[in-house]
Amino acid sequence: MSAPYYLGVDGGGTKTEFVCIDAEGEVRARAVTGTTYHLEVGVAEALRRIEQGVAEIGVQLGVEPGELTHVFLGLPAYGEDRIADPQLNDGVGALLGHARYRCDNDMVCGWAGSLACADGINVVAGTGSIAYGERAGRGARTGGWGEVFGDEGSAYWIAQRGLATFSRMSDGRLPLGPLHGLFREELALATDLDLCERVMGEHGMARGEIAALAALVSRAADAGDGAAHAILHDAADELVLLATSLRERLGFASQEPVAVSWSGGVLANQPIVRAAFTAGLTRVGLTPVAPLHAPGYGAALYARHLAGKDVGTRPF
């Protein structure tokens, strides 16, 4: 057996990051592949991308998958499909060639990274949104219901509301603001109604492409668009609600200090949302804590944490 290597896999709505650390926590190899969101790309393609990333890590380290000490894979939507979950879990076992691994939801990566596996809560606001936390060894989640009827406060949710605001501005239900022009320019619309084909037509936009439009809402807010500014503040309120509901689910006492950190592009890259989010946490008695590590590194930390332990499925 080679030196100890702990591989973490952080799956996401737009990309999947592979980070391998040694026993001291030093990063020894990294790789990135496309999204492993099986609801978008299918189980077979998700597994192919996992295999691709694992193989690249192996090349960098000069080891085979069977020589990895432990592997943790945080995959989007894992734990939500009784048919897909075992297919993903068994497929990972086949490509690794051993049972020293655990598959779980990617929310665990954010928590493990931002709080270095300590008790508390992590709120993820990326393409989708979800919150996960642990207290005294017990884990729980809130949110993460998907873009059709959930994922409040996420980039997709912000983008949806930005698109709705564009349509309302276009037909006079809202006054024209900077958001309207930014969307027309970014999407190269000859007429406002071209938006329908651009988003929903034969060659329409994928989930990640729609989520990327959240950046336009942020730019519009910076340009003084009141409607865009309201969308971002509403997003922050939704993310605070994820944290407060999870505090209750985990059984934290009302006066007990609770650290709340964050991960994902919305809270990392949109200052308006992050400022409103941290202020909202403080108002409800939660303690904002800047993330210690990125989710990819968190996944590797969790792989090291799990090494030698029972790696059965986590009950939610």
Q: What's the whole-model pTM score? A: 0.84
CA distances from 128 to 122, 153, 158, 184, 276 (A): 14, 8, 10, 24, 19
Q: Report pLDDT for 308.
A: 61
CATH of 118-291, picked from 3.20.20.70, 3.90.550.10, 1.25.40.390, 3.30.420.40, is 3.30.420.40
Q: Report pLDDT for 127.
A: 87
Q: Report pLDDT for 137.
A: 86
d(Cα 258, Cα 119) in Å, to the nearest integer?
8
Which residue ranges make up each domain of the chain? 6-116+294-306, 118-291
Q: Phi and psi at residue 9, in whole multiples of 5°?
A: -125, 115
Q: Which of 157, 287, 212 is nearest to 277 (CA)?
A: 287
- Please give the class, per CATH, of domain 6-116+294-306: alpha beta
Please provide the distance, in angstroms rounded to a whole number, between the alpha carbons at the two ends of the chain: 34
Contact 299, 57 (CB under 8 A): no
Contact 163, 216 (CB under 8 A): no
Q: Which of 135, 91, 129, 150 is nearest to 236 (CA)?
A: 129
Sheet containing 27-34, strands listed edge to edge, beginning at the edge strand earlier in sequence: 27-34, 15-21, 6-11, 70-75, 101-105
Tens-of-pLDDT digits for all 316 residues of the chain?
Answer: 568 999 999 998 789 999 999 999 999 999 999 999 898 899 999 999 999 999 999 999 999 999 999 999 999 889 988 999 999 999 999 999 999 999 999 999 999 999 999 999 999 999 899 999 999 989 999 998 988 898 999 999 999 999 999 999 999 999 999 999 999 999 999 999 999 999 999 889 988 899 999 999 999 999 999 999 999 999 999 999 999 999 999 999 878 899 999 998 999 999 999 999 999 999 999 999 999 999 999 999 999 999 865 333 333 2
> Same CATH fold, 118-291 and 6-116+294-306?
yes
In one-letter notation, the amino acid at residue 71 is V
- Reported as type and span, the H/E element at residue 59 is helix 43-61
Residue with tokens 């391998």: 20
Contact 8, 19 (CB under 8 A): yes
The number of residues making up the chain comes to: 316
